[in-house]
Amino acid sequence: MADDTILVVDDETDLVHGLRRTISMEINCRVLTAENGVQALDIMTKEAVDIVLADVLMPQMDGLTLLERIKSRYPAVTVIIMTAYGTIEKAVEAIKKGAYDLIQKPLDEERLIHLLRKGLELNRLVRENARLSAEVSRKETFGSMVGRSRPMRAIFEKIHMLAQSGVTVLIRGETGTGKDLAARAIHKLSQRGRRDLITVNCPALPETILESELFGYRKGAFTHAIADHSGMFDQADGGSIFLDEIGDLTLPVQTKLLRVLQDKEVRPLGSNRSHRVDVRILAATNQDLEQKMAQNRFREDLFYRLNVATLTLPSLDKIREDIPLLVAHFLERVAREQDKARKTVTPEVLNHLMGREWPGNTRQLENLIRGWYAVIPEATITPRHLAADILPAACRSAVMDLEKPYQDLKEQAIEAFTLEYLNRLLGQTGGNVSAAAQLSGMKRQSLQKIIRRYGVDMQRLRS
C-alpha cells in the first residue's frame, strides 16, 4: 500500500541510498532515511512511520537505544534491526527489547524484502486491532453478537427480519457458534422484547423433571408435589421460550411439546384441564435432526412445526476475518467482568489465532481468553504464552491406544508436542533460528539440534 512508510536508519550513506532504491522498487511504499537515531526520532515526530529498519552500531544514538525510545513513544511501530558480524549478542538483546526481527549484514535482499512485507502486514494487523478495540468500546455490536464479515452481516439481517415476524425459529449450528446469543437477539428485537425470555437447557434435566418444569404440575401429582408449580411455558407467557439443544428431547416430551405448538395450550402434570399460553418458541440444535427422524428418534411433525424459519450460524473457520474483532470484544468483556485491566495481544498472537483450528468455535476462543486472564499476569499476550495452548492440542493429536505401554504413549505425545511447538515457534520468526532460540529460552545450538532431530523443513518456514 502506498500509505505505508519505511524509515531506514544507518550512518553508511551508500548503503542507505541503495536500500532506498531496492525497497522502492520492490514494495509500494514511501521510504524515508536518517543517518542516526536522533535524526530518526526527529523524523518520527513529523511523519507517520510503519517500519524502522535500523543498524545496531551508529554514532550519537545506537540502534538499541533508538529501539527503546521508539517502543516507549510509538509502540505500534515495527522495528527491524540490522547487525554486522560480531554484534549478534546485541541483536538478540534487541529481540528481548521488542524488535520484530533482525537481519545480518551483508544484507540478503530477498530476505530483507520478505521481512519488510511481513512486518508491514503485521503492522496493519496492529492498526486493525486498535481500530476494532475502539469499535468494541463504542458498542458497535449486534447485541452480544460480534462480526462484520459477509456471513455475519447476513445473519444480522436475517435476525432482524425474524424478530419482526413472530414465527417459530429453529437455530442450527455447531457447538459454540452462539445459538443462545442469536435467540436472545431475536427475542430482544421483537415486540416481545420487554417480556422475559425463558431458557431451557434440554439435556441438563432428566425426562420426568424436564416435563414438570416445562408444563408445571398440580399439588399431589407425584411424591413431594406439595403445592402447585407454574411451568416454564407459564413463566414465558407473553414472551418467548428458548429450548436449547432440542434434539435431546425424549419422544414423550416431544409429543407434549407438539401439542403446545399446535393448540397453544399446556396441561400441567396431575391436571385434567389445559390452559392457553401466548409464547413464542425459539429452539436450537447442533444435531442432524433429519438423520434422527430417519432413525425414528425425532418426530417429523414436531420438526416441521419447529422449522417454520431456520437460522444457521456459521462456524468460526467460515468467518476467520471476524477473529480480530471477536478477540477485542472478549478482551474487553472479560476485563470488565473481572474488574481487571484490559490485556492486549501482539500481532504475532493475533496472526496465530487467525490461523489455528477452532473445533469449539467462538466459545472456545472466549474460553481461551478467559484462561489468559486467569493464569497470565502480564498485560500483553505474546507468542511465549501460546505454549500452554499448544500442549493440549499436541497431546490430543497423539493416538491414545491404551493397548500400548504408557512410556510409548508418553514419547508419542512428547514428539507431537515438540513438532507442533517447533513449527509454530519457527513460523513466528520466519525460520530465524537466533530469534526463535531467544523466544524459547534455549541456546541456539540446542535448538538447532532439536530441529535436525525432528527434520523440520526450514526452507518452507523461511518462505
Per-residue model confidence (pLDDT) at position 460: 65
Is the pLDDT reported for residue 30 higher than 80?
yes
**Are 326 and 208 members of one domain?**
no
Residues 36 and 114 in one domain: yes
Kindly report the CATH number assigned to the domain that includes residue 82: 3.40.50.2300
| 80 CB burial (10 A radius; 0-12, 13-18, 19+) | buried
pLDDT in tens, 127-179: 766 666 555 544 444 557 888 889 998 999 899 899 999 899 999 999 899 99
Give the pLDDT band of residue 401 (cuts 50, 70, 90): low
Domain contains 295: yes
Q: Are residues 167 and 290 in the same domain?
A: yes
Query: Residues 9, 69: contact at Cβ < 8 Å?
Result: no
HEC profile of 71-94? HHHCCCCEEEEEECCCCHHHHHHH
Q: Are 50 and 23 in contact (CB under 8 A)?
A: no
**Residue entry with cell 526463535:** 436
* Residue 419 or residue 448, greater confidence: 448
**Helix axes of 347-355 and 406-428: crossing angle, nearest 10 degrees:** 120
Pairing of strands 78-83, 169-172: unpaired
**pTM score, whole prediction:** 0.60
Domain closes at, from 340, 361, 378 = 378
**Residue bearing the bigger pLDDT, 451 or 184:** 184
Whether 225 and 79 map to the same domain: the answer is no
Predicted local confidence at residue 139, as pLDDT: 45
Q: Quick check: is 133 in a domain? A: yes
Q: In terms of domains, do 34 and 72 share one?
A: yes
In the prediction, which pLDDT does 49 show? 93
227 & 132 share domain? no
Q: Is residue 205 part of a domain?
A: yes
In a domain, 145, yes or no: no
Q: Where are the beta strands (DSSP E) in 56-151?
A: 78-83, 101-104
Domain, as residue range, for 202:
150-316
Rounded to an integer, the average pLDDT of 263-268 is 89
Cα separations (Å) of 99 from 12, 47, 68, 119, 323?
21, 20, 9, 11, 25
Asked if the structure places residue 241 within a domain, the reply is yes
Q: Confirm whether 143 is domain-assigned.
A: no
Quick one: cell of 283? 429452539
Whole-number pLDDT of residue 218: 86
Do 308 and 290 have their domain in common?
yes
Number of domains in the chain: 4
Domain containing residue 306: CATH number = 3.40.50.300
Q: Which of 271, 288, 316 is the last residue of a domain?
A: 316
Mean predicted confidence (pLDDT) in 263-288: 91
Same domain, 372 and 462: no
Task: Say if residue 119 is in the same domain as residue 162.
Answer: no
pLDDT at 208: 77
Cα 449 from Cα 439, distance rounded (Å): 16
Interval 41-52: pLDDT, tens = 999 999 999 999
142 within domain boundaries? no
Say which CATH number the domain at 367 has: 1.10.8.60
Does one domain contain both 214 and 304? yes
334 and 392 together in one domain: no
Residues 25 and 59 in one domain: yes
DSSP 353-383: HHHS--TTHHHHHHHHHHHHHHH--SSEE-G
pLDDT at 410: 66
Residue 79, domain member (yes or no): yes
Q: What are phi and psi of 4, to 5 degrees?
A: -70, 145
Which of residues 297, 316, 335 is at a domain's end? 316
- Where is pLDDT greater, at 115 or 205? 115
